[in-house]
Chains A and B, each alone.
Chain A
Amino acid sequence: MATDTRPSNPVTSDISRNHADANIGMSTRSVHAGELRQKSEGAISTPMYCASTFTFESTDSLLRFVEGEEEREEYGRYGNPNERSVERKLAAIEGAEMGIVYSSGMAAIVGLLMSKLSSGDEIIFFDQCYHRSREFCSKHLARFGVTTHQVTTGDFDAMAAAINDRTKMLVSESPTNPHLTCIDLEKFVDVGKSHGVETLIDATLATPYNLRPVEYGVDYVLHSATKYLGGHNDLLAGVICGTTESLQSVRNLRGILGSVNSPHNLYLLERGLKTFELRMQRHNENGMRIAEFLHSHPRVDRVYYPGLASHPSHSIAAAQMRGFGGLITFTVRDADWKQTSRVVDATRIARIAPSLGGVETLIEQPLVMSYYHCTPEDRKRFGIEDNMIRLACGIENTDDLIADLDQALSQ
């Protein structure tokens, strides 16, 4: 597979080579890293390469490529200059050697698991996880002979006990959705390393601004880039970060399966990343202040936000995370599901929609949005309460958002 040997930005290519270098500012990386220093026509921003295929000037040139003497583009499914640029930027932001982007977060986890698992293998999940990830493993990987085990989130003894010689991967989110449980990454990695099993963290809710799983030795970091990385609620994408060696087979399989992005999408993702640090600072500020507001509101019963001392994961979060993100889950005091819906419907700024991490604030009631067709027993098992609301804070003015929630809760 071709890798770009053209000079990237001299300042920021250093980041890729020495990803532990903490001296380069996050925002400097997100603006410059991964891009070519001198782009086509001298353009300041990466041009959009809408080409589906790439031409060879002669048979000799083609031979140089197939014999591996020249690294370059070939066909859009195997790679594209826009993809290369944004993958290098994402890797630099994550502090990883390599990033691979996919057409969605689900395509990314599917791409990784399909590449790493074979019939007879087993994986272990912590049980608080995105319901579609769980569904893919338990319903679809099962058809290919892969067994999925679930253990209680954060129970490392149970996780270790579930490992056998067929176990290939340990999987968790941190923070989890919608309970915002944070995983002790040192312990998580320790369980994996002591048993020789690879680890995967879905850090979508944390982002590399708030959490650095690679620095703890996590093997694979997954993001739904649709969320904070894209950041504008206007694209779908996913990314897997890890070492070049471990991801080569994953990249090869993506070239076959084809879950790649269009150049338009890749361009929007690259553009969104330029303001990544700024947006995250605002998401963190809004998240923290609004969580505190909700915590002290008489109509709110319980607030799940890892920045609050009352959250069960607070000490882990405080030790591992720089900020706590924009996602808050809370329950409305003494409300049934309909009364809870009325609070959702009464907000004027927040919009009712799934997803999170964009500049616009979104709100949803998990019971209705994602768990409506579950049995009450399953909802109870997943910790989804009737009076639960999930709020994904955008970057709007904090006082405006608080005033809006206050009036919605007062109706």
Chain B
Amino acid sequence: MTDRDYSFRTRAVHVGNEVDPATGAVIPPLHFASTFRQPGAGVWGQYDYSRSGNPTRTALQNTLASLEGACGSLAFSTGMAAIHCVTMLLSPGDQILAASDIYGGAYRLFHKICGSAGIGVTLVDFTKPDVVAAAILPNTKLLWGETIGNPQMSIVDLPAIAKIARDANVLFGVDNTFGTPALLRPLEHGVDIVMHSATKYLGGHSDCLGGTLAVSNPELRDKLYYIQNATGAVLDPMSCFLLSRGLKTLDIRVRAQSETAMRLAKWLCDQPRVSRVLYPGLVDHPGHAIASRLMGDHFGSMITFELLADKAGTAAVCQSTKLFCLAVSLGAVESLIEQPATMSHASYAAHDRERFGITDGLIRISVGLESFEDLRDDLAAAMDATA
């Protein structure tokens, strides 16, 4: 099945899911083998050792490459392992120019781990291409952003930043976890590397960890594969299987979740205890026009809103919901709720939290597959009970 022939949803079901030639099984078997018998001494078969390659992982990578429009993809044990692999393309003295509202784990990796390896990091507002262009230094080797920033839900103008990166001969990588390939395919907009925490929408069921990279340049793919194989943070066969299974319903899940999120965002705007709602689907969101251009009419299931309450009052709402589960992570069938200041962005230094608008009253929700009415009633009850 070639990419040009079929639409996204059909490819999500079939690419990488080829019928097993040995048995005709409609689902390929899971290969737990750590090692593979070789045709002869010094003669290597397609698979030799599972860190270097595994058929179940290959199947997942083929599906994902098709969905991203990539020449290849790599599956890692976590999203952080995938980002770490990208940073290992750099050398001491190089600099990363990253968006100012990236995930707390990426912030920590860039500052604490890359920092001790002699790699510098500067954070700037990626929603302003001029600011990004002006911040590029001769030793800048990587631009790193998120297609939908977190928790502000900021939207990066991917074609504009991609052009800046290309002109400066700098790699441009994005974390597209919040966008998902169902709604947004960054490689089509000139991005060099697209990364996912596959733990989120791609797996979609809150039951496996994983990370992925996809690229459209074969040379870059080979470099990243070399690093992955040399450092070893590969995804296990069981998680690869669960991810592949999750990808089959990715399109219908993300669209249903986005539709519910849109209705919840509009409802939240009318709530007296809510001072602002950050959702790219709302016309008054600063990134709405770019989001519409890049994503069409579905905007994902992540909503941030600010409560008229202090840290404790905000925590009380997060702890009072019955359907929304108090937990970090996102993108799955179950709705989740969290307080960025004390949970997802606790890794930020206090002054950076303040600088980037991560206030104590912020609440971030990830909208699952439950019905709109049930979720709305749950949020309303939690806000009423703690008012």
- Set of chain B residues within 8 Å of A351, measured between Cβ atoms: 19, 26
A275 touches B14 (CB 8 A): no
Q: Which residue on chain B has the smallest CB distance to residue A352?
A: B24
Complex formed: what's the CA distance from A346 to B70 in Å?
A: 29
Complex formed: what's the CA distance from A400 to B26 in Å?
A: 19
- For the residues of B in contact with A, the DSSP-based class is loop
B14 touches A396 (CB 8 A): yes
Closest CB in chain A relative to B135 CB, distance in Å:
39
- Set of chain A residues within 8 Å of B19, measured between Cβ atoms: 351
- Set of chain A residues within 8 Å of B370, measured between Cβ atoms: 25, 27-28, 31-32
Say whether A99 faces chain B, with CB atoms less than 8 Å apart.
no
B13 touches A360 (CB 8 A): yes
Say whether B256 faces chain A, with CB atoms less than 8 Å apart.
yes
- A282-B252, A400-B6 given; A271·B371 CB < 8 A: no
Say whether A10 faces chain B, with CB atoms less than 8 Å apart.
yes
Complex formed: what's the CA distance from A310 to B336 in Å?
A: 46
A11 touches B322 (CB 8 A): yes
- Set of chain A residues within 8 Å of B323, measured between Cβ atoms: 11, 28, 32
- Set of chain B residues within 8 Å of A397, measured between Cβ atoms: 6-10
A279 touches B322 (CB 8 A): no
Complex formed: what's the CA distance from A394 to B6 in Å?
A: 15
A396 touches B10 (CB 8 A): yes
- Set of chain B residues within 8 Å of A232, measured between Cβ atoms: 27, 245, 248
Say whether B373 faces chain A, with CB atoms less than 8 Å apart.
yes
A279 touches B252 (CB 8 A): yes
B7 touches A399 (CB 8 A): yes
A24 touches B252 (CB 8 A): no
Query: What is the size, in residues, of chain A's interface with B at 8 Å between Cβ atoms?
Result: 40
A359 touches B13 (CB 8 A): yes
> Interface 1/0s, chain B 7-23, versus A by CB < 8 A?
11110011001010000
- A28-B371, A349-B14 given; A396·B249 CB < 8 A: no
Say whether A362 faces chain B, with CB atoms less than 8 Å apart.
yes
Say whether B205 faces chain A, with CB atoms less than 8 Å apart.
yes
- A27-B371, A396-B14 given; A32·B252 CB < 8 A: no
Closest CB in chain A relative to B89 CB, distance in Å:
34
B249 touches A279 (CB 8 A): yes
- Set of chain B residues within 8 Å of A355, measured between Cβ atoms: 26
Complex formed: what's the CA distance from A279 to B373 in Å?
A: 20
Interface centre among B206, B207, B378 (most CB of A within 10 A): B207
B206 touches A45 (CB 8 A): yes
> Interface 1/0s, chain B 331-347, versus A by CB < 8 A?
01110100000000000
Say whether A395 faces chain B, with CB atoms less than 8 Å apart.
yes
Complex formed: what's the CA distance from A45 to B249 in Å?
A: 18
**Residues of A379-406 whose CB lies within 8 A of B:** 394-397, 399-401
- Set of chain B residues within 8 Å of A395, measured between Cβ atoms: 9, 13, 248-249, 252
Say whether B72 faces chain A, with CB atoms less than 8 Å apart.
no
Interface size class of B (residues with CB under 8 A): 35 or more
Say whether A202 faces chain B, with CB atoms less than 8 Å apart.
no
Closest CB in chain B relative to A28 CB, distance in Å:
4
**Residues of B300-358 whose CB lies within 8 A of A:** 322-323, 325, 327, 329, 332-334, 336
- Set of chain B residues within 8 Å of A401, measured between Cβ atoms: 10
Closest CB in chain B relative to A221 CB, distance in Å:
23
Q: Which residue on chain B has the smallest CB distance to residue A44?
A: B206
Q: Which residue on chain A has the smallest CB distance to residue B332?
A: A44
- A275-B369, A397-B9 given; A44·B26 CB < 8 A: no
Say whether A84 faces chain B, with CB atoms less than 8 Å apart.
no
- Set of chain A residues within 8 Å of B368, measured between Cβ atoms: 31
A271 touches B13 (CB 8 A): no
- A11-B322, A11-B374, A31-B334 given; A400·B7 CB < 8 A: yes
Closest CB in chain A relative to B263 CB, distance in Å:
13
Closest CB in chain A relative to B386 CB, distance in Å:
17
Say whether B253 faces chain A, with CB atoms less than 8 Å apart.
yes
Say whether A278 faces chain B, with CB atoms less than 8 Å apart.
yes
- Set of chain B residues within 8 Å of A179, measured between Cβ atoms: none
Closest CB in chain A relative to B198 CB, distance in Å:
15
B371 touches A25 (CB 8 A): yes
Q: Which residue on chain A has the smallest CB distance to residue B242?
A: A271
- A31-B334, A31-B370 given; A234·B27 CB < 8 A: yes
Closest CB in chain A relative to B7 CB, distance in Å:
4
- A278-B252, A351-B19 given; A27·B7 CB < 8 A: no
Complex formed: what's the CA distance from A383 to B56 in Å?
A: 42
A394 touches B13 (CB 8 A): yes
Q: Which residue on chain A has the smallest CB distance to residue B373?
A: A25
B13 touches A274 (CB 8 A): no
- Complex partner residue of A234 from B206, B245, B329, B333, CB under 8 angstroms: B245
A-B contact pairs, 13 of them (CB 8 A): A10-B322, A11-B378, A25-B373, A26-B371, A31-B333, A32-B370, A45-B206, A232-B27, A275-B252, A351-B19, A359-B249, A395-B9, A396-B6
What are the 9 A-B residue pairs with the smallest beta carbon separation, nearest first? Answer: A25-B371, A396-B10, A397-B7, A28-B370, A274-B333, A400-B10, A45-B207, A44-B206, A28-B374
Sample of 12 further A-B pairs with CB below 8 A, known A32-B370, A401-B10: A24-B374, A26-B371, A44-B206, A44-B336, A45-B206, A271-B245, A274-B205, A349-B6, A396-B10, A396-B13, A399-B7, A400-B6
